[in-house]
Amino acid sequence: MSDLIIGSIFAIKLANNSKNYIAMKKQTKQNQKETKAKKLDKNNTNQTTENAKLEQDTIKNDMAKKLTDLENKLKEEKDKYVRLYAEFENYRKRTAKEKLEMFETASENVIKNLLPILDDFERAIAELKKNKEDELVKGVELIYDKFKKTLEKEGLKNIEVNKGDQFDPEVHEAIAQVPVEDEKMKNKIVDVVEKGYQLGPKNIRFPKVVTGR
């Protein structure tokens, strides 16, 4: 009887131990699942963070590239504007210069055509003075002075040349050479045949002179 009781007690203990073992095993599995789930959640969180960071980096790189492209495009447009402005300025200056030259040329041609009339006045005055026709000289000189002052207002200037001046081929036009006794007059101007004139800074007619040799 005692053996039966002892066997029953042992069976009960064995059953309890089995239950405890199974419970512990279930708990261990549950703990393992929870640990695995936590690791998975942590991995997912880390992956999400990395993905978010990667996405932010991609957005930053795209924005930086777009900004660089815009800066390059702005620079190209600025260069085009600068070139266009420079071309326009060159065109404006060139057309202004051409217009000025056109007016100057037209004015020059008119004045050059009037110079022989100025010469005729001077010859007429000289001839009248020879004949001592004083009244006529006064009238002709009055017209001559008005005519000359009108041309001077347009920029006409007489090129000053005097006997004894050194001959300069850049300024004077030699039409003849004559022998001279005075050594000092060699290659010097001995006579002025026709006056020379400037229009502004430009010589429009060189004085015609005779030089000594």
pLDDT tens digits for 156-199? Answer: 999 999 988 999 998 999 999 999 888 888 889 999 999 999 98
| Residues 49, 118 within the same domain | yes
Phi first, then psi: give them for residue 170, nearest 5 degrees: -80, -20
| Residues 62, 119 within the same domain | yes
| Residues 56, 113 within the same domain | yes
**Facing residues of 211 across strands?**
177, 189
| Residues 64, 109 within the same domain | yes
**Domain contains 146:** no
| Residues 171, 115 within the same domain | no
How many other CB atoms are found less than 10 A from the CB of residue 195? 17
**Which domain range does residue 74 map to?**
43-124
Percentage of the chain modeled with pLDDT above 70: 73
**Domain contains 149:** no
* C-alpha span between 208 and 176 (Å, rounded): 9
Phi first, then psi: give them for residue 106, nearest 5 degrees: -65, -45
Of 109, 124, 139, which marks where a domain is finished? 124
Structure confidence at residue 71 (pLDDT): 84
What total of structural domains would you count in the chain?
2
**Domain contains 202:** yes
- Residue 142, C-beta contacts closer than 8 angstroms, at least 6 positions apart: none
* C-alpha span between 87 and 79 (Å, rounded): 12
| Residues 104, 56 within the same domain | yes
**Domain contains 119:** yes
**Domain contains 117:** yes
**Facing residues of 189 across strands?**
211
Phi first, then psi: give them for residue 200, nearest 5 degrees: 70, -130
| Residues 63, 106 within the same domain | yes
| Residues 168, 101 within the same domain | no
Phi first, then psi: give them for residue 131, nearest 5 degrees: -85, 0
**Domain contains 82:** yes
Longest CA span, the chain: 191
Of 124, 144, 178, which marks where a domain is finished? 124
| Residues 117, 159 within the same domain | no
- The closest of 200, 199, 198, 182 to 190, measured between CA atoms, is 182
Supply the pTM of this predicted model.
0.52
State yes or no: pLDDT of 13 exceeds 50.
Answer: yes
Residue 195 · residue 159 · CB < 8 Å: yes
| Residues 171, 98 within the same domain | no
| Residues 65, 112 within the same domain | yes
**Mean pLDDT for the chain overall:** 81
**Domain contains 145:** no
54-72 tens-digit pLDDT: 778 788 787 888 888 888 8
Confidence of residue 1 (pLDDT cuts 50, 70, 90): very low
Q: Can you give the CATH number for the domain in which 181 is found?
A: 2.30.22.10
| Residues 53, 102 within the same domain | yes
* C-alpha span between 196 and 178 (Å, rounded): 21
DSSP conformation class of 182: S
